[in-house]
């Protein structure tokens, strides 16, 4: 379990599965194990707030036009594929769901993600 999570770090995280009698993911919630960007850490509570990424280009052009989606080209923070940050899928998770570290966002990209979240909560 990582102890020193930093805002702007990307970790592989388990967001839950879609299967079974009581799936951890329902409807349009994003699931599976995927890279997620740390946006807040509640270390004393054992919780981390993250925004997930996906390497699947949304097939719905509406999603690409949302101000809550940010494109990250291959190589950003050591990501192996073009990726999309889905800020509208903000999640708070147990630190137990945090896996291996993938990389770190540069300052400009980290500030872009945080600015999207601020705008989201101010709208």
Question: pLDDT value at position 22?
Answer: 58
CA pair distance 103, 77, nearest whole angstrom? 5
Question: pLDDT value at position 3?
Answer: 65
Average pLDDT over residues 110-121: 94
CB 12 within 8 A of CB 100: yes
Question: pLDDT value at position 63?
Answer: 66
CA pair distance 32, 118, nearest whole angstrom? 26
* Paired residues of 42 in beta bridges: 47
Q: Name the token pair of 115.
A: 């600015």
Q: With a cut of 70, say whether residue 93 has pLDDT above it.
A: yes
Average pLDDT over residues 4-29: 81
Q: With a cut of 90, say whether residue 106 has pLDDT above it.
A: yes
Domain 9-122 sits in CATH at 2.30.30.110
* Residue ranges per structural domain of the chain: 9-122
Question: pLDDT value at position 48?
Answer: 97
Matching residue, tokens 């999570």? 5
């Amino acid at each position: 379990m990582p102890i020193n999570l930093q805002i702007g770090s990307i970790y592989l995280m388990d967001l839950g599965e879609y299967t079974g009698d009581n799936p951890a993911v329902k409807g349009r919630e994003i699931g599976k194990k995927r890279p997620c960007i740390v946006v807040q850490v509640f270390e004393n509570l054992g919780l981390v707030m993250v925004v997930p990424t996906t390497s699947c280009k949304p097939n719905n052009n509406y999603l690409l036009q949302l101000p809550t989606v940010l494109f990250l080209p291959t190589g950003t923070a050591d990501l192996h594929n073009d990726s999309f940050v889905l800020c509208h899928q903000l999640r708070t998770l147990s630190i137990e769901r945090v896996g291996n570290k993938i990389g770190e966002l540069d300052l400009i990209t980290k500030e872009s993600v945080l600015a999207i979240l601020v705008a989201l909560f101010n709208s």
